[in-house]
A = this chain, B = another copy of it.
Amino acid sequence: MPRWESGSAERLTRIAMELFAEKGFEETSVVEIAKRARVTTRTFFRYFPDKREVLFAESDGLRAALVERIRQAPDDEPLAVVLGALAGFDWDTLGREAQRQRHAVIAANPELLERDLSKQNDIAVAFTDALQQRGVDAAVARLTSRVGLQVFGVAYERWLSAGDADLAGIVAETMALLSRTASARAG
């Protein structure tokens, strides 16, 4: 079961996010997080090795879930497989407000941003492998994984700031924008 569904880690994450949003990531200590959550710091450290991992604890699980979606995807163009896996994932289960807060905290801290970019790169590498296992040519797998993640990333940020718009719709719109400029280039 992913940690965000289990009581205390989910609560600690929510409370840490509140504090990060209020005071900034660097200015928030584990002691403060534990205090507001009314647990000991020892309880905090049972769930997270440090405060940074509050933001990245789910990365491995998320990557595995997305890769599994690539493996299970119906036969289609590689870019459609990548975008389908990303857009079809139920991001709302992670909580949109929580994702918005997480995104803002990461964007405001260069060290966290570096770590986040590295996690995105891990996803690109895993997608490339999964596509190759589906028989996609290595260069195409690499290209469509990386481009697909960028298209999704742009759409995802719009979704985070877009009230209640539908993510799949925004992904399709973003992809249409790219197709227009990509085919103009090829033509």
Chain B residues whose C-beta falls within 8 Å of the C-beta of A102 in the assembled complex: none
Chain B residues whose C-beta falls within 8 Å of the C-beta of A29 in the assembled complex: none
For the residues of A in contact with B, the DSSP-based class is helix
Nearest B residue to A150 via CB reads B146
A1 within 8 A of B: no
CB distance from A160 to the nearest CB of B (A): 14
From B83, B113, B118, give the contact of A110 (CB < 8 A).
B118
Chain A: interface size category: 35 or more
A178 to B80, CA, bound (A): 12
Nearest B residue to A110 via CB reads B118
Hey, what's the 0/1 contact readout for A43-85 against B, CB within 8 Å counting as 1?
Answer: 0000000000000000000000000000000000111100100
Chain B residues whose C-beta falls within 8 Å of the C-beta of A178 in the assembled complex: 79, 143-144, 147, 182
Chain B residues whose C-beta falls within 8 Å of the C-beta of A186 in the assembled complex: 175-176, 179
A110 to B183, CA, bound (A): 36
A142 to B83, CA, bound (A): 18
Hey, what's the 0/1 contact readout for A143-175 against B, CB within 8 Å counting as 1?
Answer: 110110011011000100000000000000011
9 closest cross-chain pairs (CB), A and B = A179-B186, A146-B150, A117-B117, A77-B184, A79-B181, A114-B118, A114-B114, A80-B185, A182-B182
